[in-house]
Amino acid sequence: MSEGQKPQRRRRVRPQIPETPQEEPRRIVVSHEDAPDWMVSAGDVTGAASRRVGGSGIISNGTDKRKKAPTQGKEPAAVKQPKNAPAEDVQQEEAIPGPRRKTDSKVVRMEPEKPRSRAGHKKQKKLPIAKIVGLSAAGILLVAALVSGIMYFNHLLDIKRTLDQGNNVFYPNIYMNGIELKGKTLDEAAAEVTNQVNSLISNFRVTLRTQDGRQWVITGEDLKMNYDVADQLDQVWSIGHTGSSAERYEQVKAIEENPVSRYTTLRYDLTSINQILAQIKAEVDEPAINATRVDDDTKWPPYSYTDDVPGQTLDVSGLNDYISGLVERLESGTVDLVPTPVTAAVTRAELEGRIVKLATYETAIGATSHEGRFKNIQVGTEKFNHLVVHAGETVSFNKVAGKRTELNGYVEAPEIAYGEYVMGIGGGICQVSSTLYNAVVNAGIQVVTRVQHSLASNYVPKGQDATVSDGRLDFVFKNNTNADLFFETQYYKKKNYWYTQFTIYGRPDPNGYTYKMESQVREEVPLPEPTYIRDTKAQYVVYTDETYQISKGEVGYIVDVYLVTMDNRGLELGRKLWYTDNYKPRAPSYYVGVTQRDK
């Protein structure tokens, strides 16, 4: 049905109930195209049944002039006369023989009377009951038709009232971007929605800011935002405005229970977001600055260090997704930019950790030592100060300390030679080599050559000494750490005692281990019988009954030396027997005179 037309009403014909004479009842044939089967009578056969057997009592309207030959025992049906039929059709209808009565919508043909028979006379007695039944049925039909007509009429009124709501305007329960379009024309709705989206675009702001106060603003103009208002409006306008009346009616009724809400399509160009974020990233990102090691002869190891400076980087990938979500929802807001810290590839702590103190060892010099011995220990200690040993290099003590000569700064002092203390240039140098030996072992450095003293020393534990002598005995070690070793020595006085100290710097043990030696005396060898030396020169004694003790002798020792491995907390991880030293005992020595006393 086109817009503005009134719906065509379906005409229903109210059936006419013929008067029943007192005589034999006549058959009534009703002809109407809308009448249900049960309203059509054809003698003793119902209308529906009549149709099924091909004996329809319906006569076609004026458009069909064909006549059918009457069937024996059956009367021709009355002609259904359409409304406003031409006069000639009426005349043709009147030509049908038999009494008739004209009604508002149909013609009822009265059947001619037949001669009454006795049987017919008997049937006449039952006429009142049949009449009552006929009247009742007719009444029911009339009420049903009336109710049906009223309902149909009300339905038509409801269709009209429903569709009239959308005459050139939107129907209720239609929303666009949250705006109710009810009662608005298409132009009015387009104007209001356009104003809304233009306002949203102009007010759209995404502010990106950093903790240091910098900020950047992204606007709808930056993103080339625009809305396609017509696309969605055309779709919702079609609701109730397209299709047949029935289809439009169904559409409007559907949205009464389920309102329609649509949103305009936002178009934008995210390329500008990527460009803006790339610019922000370039401004926010700061590369980390590595620490450096600088040569510095004023320090030992001879290096100074510059501090590392951490950097930062802005992850724009997740930020892009977040901002895109704001854009799609057209939601303004503020985004705090939190860069990710970037640690320098080389830190000062790392550089300093590459050269650490591996070990420190010191020994005290006896207070009663010979004056020359103090001097020799000081000279020998200073020879190793600021020594740098590169990875893989081998170090000879004798080579670094130099020959013990007066030219090299050494002086005469007591020293052990062949198990005896004798005076010699460089006496006391073995305390320097023994101190260095303990520092080397504790630092985890490989020992190549080490020789024990003939007598146990009193400045280091038994078994932890290393004797040296020019051209004969040497202490040798090798740098097996794959990094440079830096030696620092000190000769200093503390609480009336002089000390020699060795400190070794280098790359830390990869496992964080530290080492030390521990000595265990397995056996003590007693003093042998004293020895007597004839003082032929009468230097100490003259007479044979006189003695002068040259030496008290030394007890001998068998000493097991263990190498102990510890973790970075100093807890013992294990120990192994490294070697065993055998210090032979030394007999007491006396001078005895060679002259007999006079009796």
Gap between the Cα atoms of 384 and 435, Å rounded: 12
Q: What angle do CA 383, 389, 391 make, to 5 degrees?
A: 170
Asked whether residue 18 is domain-assigned, the answer is no
Inform me whether the pLDDT recorded for 428 exceeds 90: yes
Amino acid at 394: T
372 & 330 share domain: no
* Mean pLDDT computed over 535-548: 92
Residues 374 and 475 occupy one common structural domain: yes
Q: Do 482 and 406 belong to one domain?
A: yes
Q: Quickly list DSSP for 97-161.
A: SS-EEE-SS-EEEPPPP----HHHHHHHHTHHHHHHHHHHHHHHHHHHHHHHHHHHHHHHHHHHH
**CA–CA distances in Å: residue 121 to residues 43, 74, 114, 128, 388:** 19, 22, 12, 13, 154
Average pLDDT, the chain: 81
Report the pLDDT value the prediction gives residue 39, as an integer from 0 to 100: 33
Top-confidence range, 35-49, 318-332, 418-432, 486-500: 486-500
- Domain contains 30: no
Q: Are 362 and 234 in contact (CB under 8 A)?
A: no
Portion of the chain with pLDDT greater than 70, in percent: 77
Of the listed ranges 90-99, 327-336, 497-506, 524-533, the least confidently predicted one is: 90-99
Spatial contact of 181 and 241, defined as CB atoms under 8 Å apart: no
Do 367 and 350 lie in a common domain?
A: no
**What is the DSSP secondary structure assignment for residue 289, as one 8-state letter?**
B
Identify the pLDDT of residue 172. 95
Domain membership of residue 396 (yes or no) is yes
Question: Do 301 and 392 share a domain, yes or no?
Answer: no
Please state which of the ranges 185-199, 420-434, 520-534, 549-563 shows the lowest mean pLDDT. 420-434
Residues 433 and 392 placed together within one structural domain of the fold: yes
Q: Quick check: is 29 in a domain?
A: no
Q: What is the pLDDT of residues 256-284, one digit of tens each?
A: 999 999 988 888 888 888 888 888 999 99
Query: Does 239 or 104 have the greater pLDDT score?
Result: 239
> Which of 354, 372, 396 is a domain's end point?
354
Whether residues 491 and 519 fall in one domain: no
Chain segment 333-359, per-residue pLDDT in tens: 999 998 999 999 999 999 999 999 999
- Nearest alpha-carbon partner for 404 in 312, 490, 494, 472: 472
Query: Per mean pLDDT, which range of 5-19, 411-425, 488-502 is the poorest?
Result: 5-19
| Range scoring the smallest mean pLDDT among 120-129, 320-329, 549-558 | 120-129
Give 132-181 pLDDT, tens digit per residue. Answer: 777 888 888 888 888 888 888 888 888 888 898 889 999 999 999 999 99
The letter for the amino acid at 55 is G
Q: Give the model's pLDDT for residue 21.
A: 45
Q: Looking at residue 526, which CATH number applies to its domain?
A: 2.20.230
Q: What is the pLDDT of residue 127?
A: 53
Contact 23/43 with Cβ under 8 angstroms? no
Give the residue from 90, 118, 153 where a domain finishes.
153
Q: Tens digit of pLDDT for each residue in 58-83? A: 333 343 444 444 444 444 444 444 44
Residue 41 domain-assigned (yes or no) = yes
Co-location of 341 and 249 in the same domain: yes
Contacts of 411 (CB under 8 A, 6+ apart): 372, 375, 376, 425, 426
322 confidence band (pLDDT: 50, 70, 90): confident
Instruction: State yes or no: pLDDT of 410 exceeds 80.
Output: yes
Q: Lowest mean pLDDT: which of 331-335, 416-420, 450-454, 515-519?
A: 416-420
Give the pLDDT band (50/70/90) at residue 53: very low
Rounded mean pLDDT, 40-57: 33
Q: Are residues 503 and 516 in the same domain?
A: no
Query: 93 lies in which domain range?
Result: 37-153
**pLDDT at residue 238 greater than cutoff 70:** yes
Mean pLDDT of the region 389-409: 97
334 in the same domain as 193: yes
- Residue 103's alpha-carbon distances to 30, 99, 109, 154, in angstroms, are 12, 13, 11, 27
The stretch 490-516 carries a mean pLDDT of 95
pLDDT of residue 25: 41
Asked, for residue 32, whether it belongs to a domain, the answer is no
User: Has residue 11 been placed in a domain?
Assistant: no
Last residue of a domain, one of 464, 484, 508: 508
Report yes or no on 160 lying in a domain. Answer: no
Say yes or no to pLDDT of 22 above 80.
no
Average pLDDT estimate for 32-42? 36
Instruction: Give yes or no for residue 545 having a pLDDT over 80.
Output: yes
What is the per-residue pLDDT for 167?
92
Q: Does 295 share its domain with 170?
A: yes
Q: Work out the percent of the chain whose per-residue pLDDT is above 90.
A: 54
336 and 402 part of one domain: no
| Count of Cβ atoms closer than 10 Å to residue 129 Cβ | 9
Residue 56 pLDDT greater than 80, yes or no: no
- In the chain, the number of structural domains is 4
Report, in angstroms and rounded to the nearest whole number, the Rg of the chain calculated over CA atoms: 65
